[in-house]
Amino acid sequence: SASASFRTPAQVALLALLILGLWTLALSGGLGYLLPTFVMQLCFILLCGSLGLIQAAMIAAAITGISYLAFIVGLGVRLPATLLPWLM
């Protein structure tokens, strides 16, 4: 969006810190890995301001899915479990 180009570097940095902080809280708060990571990726892509919502959501879903598979299958890392299984 055009509004992203009017943000100062300090504003972008603060927004990025906020996004990461909320992602960390969501992970430790029992929301699991998939939903918080998708939302975080979507926010970062939209913060860049170069894609529309649908494209950004598709890319965020791809990044989330690939990273999930990389951690679970490729590296054998256990990711945070969700306290809300219907959010899986």
pLDDT in tens, 28-85: 888 888 999 999 999 999 998 878 999 999 999 999 999 999 998 899 988 877 776 6
3-class secondary structure, 70: helix
Which tokens is 21 given? 């902080």
pLDDT in tens, 4-37: 557 788 998 999 999 999 999 998 888 888 999 9
C-alpha distance from residue 67 to each of 4, 5, 6, 14 (Å): 26, 29, 31, 25
